[in-house]
Amino acid sequence: MRLARKGHCYNFPTGTGLQSAARRPTELLMRLLIVEDNLELVANLFDYFEPRGFTLDAAPDGRTGLQLALTHAYDAVILDWMLPRLDGPGVLTSLRAERTTPVIMLPAKDQLADKVAGFRAGADDYLTKPFDLPELEMRLLALHARALGRPLPQLCVGDLTLDMATLQARRGGVPLKLYPASRKLLEVLMRASPRVVTRLELEHALWGDDPPDSDQLRSHLYELRRAVDAGQGVKLLHTLPKVGYRLGSA
């Protein structure tokens, strides 16, 4: 089975169901297994995670996914619920008999009873569709850090902090309410501080190579500025006209 998307071709070789990502010349961040029969979603995950240094394999059914999870060393598994041949909970139950690989379930089932069933089957995390890719990324990084026994770092710029384990931002110790897109922009700006980050870099962080036609970035930055700087004597988010944005106290 072959799927083409944005110039990339993803393959499920006959008989194995394995979809392998081409290795990129970048530092390996995590090796992930995606067990998902929605090929459009799989393509979106490849488009988002590959440029960020992740290595991805994918399986279109539960039995193939279980086989791969038991025979390869993955840092985490992204697992759907409704799968051909073997459903998500079935995969989890069998996997947990032999492996402790971190698993995040990614189903459309959003009822409390479904979430409880997923965790009882052995899931480490549960994120329902539809979801934001930056949130999925942060959850995966948190799972990986816990599996390695090390805490995720806390980013700091002045009195502004972002806890990468909880994704909670604070200014002067006061929690900030941020939506996922604004939180992702904050992370990018904090990691780069005090360097200037261009609009192109920020757009790519949110949407990869397919930014929206409308200027949604401006709205997300407005929301971020309001959350970070409203009522503060020292402004941290600065706009450099025709250049970009940066975080810093001066």
Residues 3-24: tens digit of each pLDDT: 333 333 333 433 333 443 333 3
Using CA atoms, how far apart are residues 194 and 157, in angstroms rounded to an integer? 9
Q: Could you tell me the residue ranges of all domains in the chain?
A: 2-148, 154-247
* Mean pLDDT of the region 100-126: 91
Residue 52's pLDDT is what?
Answer: 83
CATH superfamily membership of 2-148: Response regulator (3.40.50.2300)
pLDDT recorded at residue 177: 92
Q: Is the pLDDT at 221 greater than 90, yes or no?
A: yes
- Per-residue pLDDT band for 152 (boundaries 50, 70, 90) equals low
CA–CA distances in Å: residue 7 to residues 3, 4, 11, 13, 136: 10, 7, 13, 19, 24
d(CA 177, CA 199): 23
pLDDT score at 97: 82
Q: CA–CA separation, 244 vs 63, rounded Å?
A: 48
Per-residue pLDDT averaged across 103-123, rounded?
91
Nearest to 49 by CA among 180, 208, 198: 208
Q: Which CATH number fits domain 154-247: 3.40.50.300, 3.30.2350.10, 1.10.10.10, 3.40.50.11890?
A: 1.10.10.10
